[in-house]
Amino acid sequence: MSQQAEIQIRNASVLGSTMAYRETGAQDAPVALFLHGNPTSSHIWRNILPLVAPVAHCIAPDLIGFGRSGKPDIAYRFVDHVRYLDALIEQLGISSAYLVAQDWGTALAFHLAARRPDFVRGLAFMEFIRPMPTWQDFHQVEAARETFRKFRTPGEGEAMILEANAFVERVLPGGIMRTLSEDEMAPYRAPFPTPESRGPVLAFPRELPIAGEPADVYQALQAAHASLKASSYPKLLFAGEPGAVVAPAFAEAFAASLRHCALVRLGPGRHYLQEDHPDAIGRSVAGWIAGIEAVLPQLAA
């Protein structure tokens, strides 16, 4: 397959709505499922998918309420995203996959892996969500912590995210080292043209498992992280410098605490590492998948 593999954008009917996804690579290759976070979409993987396509059947969904996916009348809680992603996986007939995830995509990946360990061929992840006992554990920058406290405050969050579109216009660019062009920003802005359309973006910061709240999300991710620690499937953790919710030293310690986890230091980067290091991420994931697939027949023998 060419390095410039063509990416198709498709739609699937899911739970009475639609979910869009990007697809590239050979249909008979192992699946690599790319999971984005807030407030992005599969657009964030656009420069990574062609690099992984030679070794995998790449599928990158737009989470429900994001990108080109539908916006059903739901609360957009973590459990809703779990339900819709599960339904999409079933609809597409995916029986196993490499999971490649960032931000809320990692929470979905950890939760999926905990429930279906046989589904996971490997897990590549970055800037990941975990249960955070205190606000100090959430983000390295106090100003960011204060902003997210406001997002979680009734009234303030609505004014900042629904009215001012702060997550798209401020948080997203602030999490990227380089400056995105207007053409690059347009697909990030397009799903959220009005205050009414931005509900899914507001819901996610209010779902962050911080200081025990929300209790259901906190407990679900405690269990998922316990399963992650016990798991034996291959893992690949990417870290930026200084990072945002994952500092380099924390990434190093976290990788060392897991079984079969390699750490890739990307260099300068904050939260949306895919925008600053698509080549390094894409080539690393492709090489990692190829290496695992090369030894699988020997393990099965």
In order of start, what are the domains of the chain with their CATH numbers?
8-130+216-300 (3.40.50.1820)
Residue 283 has pLDDT above 50, yes or no: yes
Amino acid at 159: A
Give the model's pLDDT for residue 297.
66
Active-site position among 62, 80, 103, 207: 103
Cβ neighbours of residue 266 under 8 Å, at least 6 residues apart? 238, 239, 240, 241, 273, 276, 277, 280, 281
Six-digit token string for 173 = 């660019």
Q: What is the DSSP string of 229-278?
A: HH--S-EEEEEEEE-SSS-HHHHHHHHHHSTTEEEEEEEEE-S-HHHH-H
Q: Is residue 103 annotated as a catalytic residue, yes or no?
A: yes
Taking 60 as the threshold, does the pLDDT of residue 1 lie above it? no
Q: Is 271 a catalytic residue?
A: yes
Among 23, 62, 80, 127, the one annotated catalytic: 127
Distance, in Å, from the CA atom of 77 to the CA atom of 95, rounded to the nearest integer, reads: 25
pLDDT of residue 4: 59
Question: Do 210 and 245 touch, CB atoms closer than 8 A?
Answer: no
Q: Which of 271, 275, 276, 277 is catalytic?
A: 271
Q: What is the pLDDT of residues 26-72, one digit of tens each?
A: 999 999 999 999 999 999 999 999 999 999 999 999 999 999 999 99
pLDDT of residue 5: 72
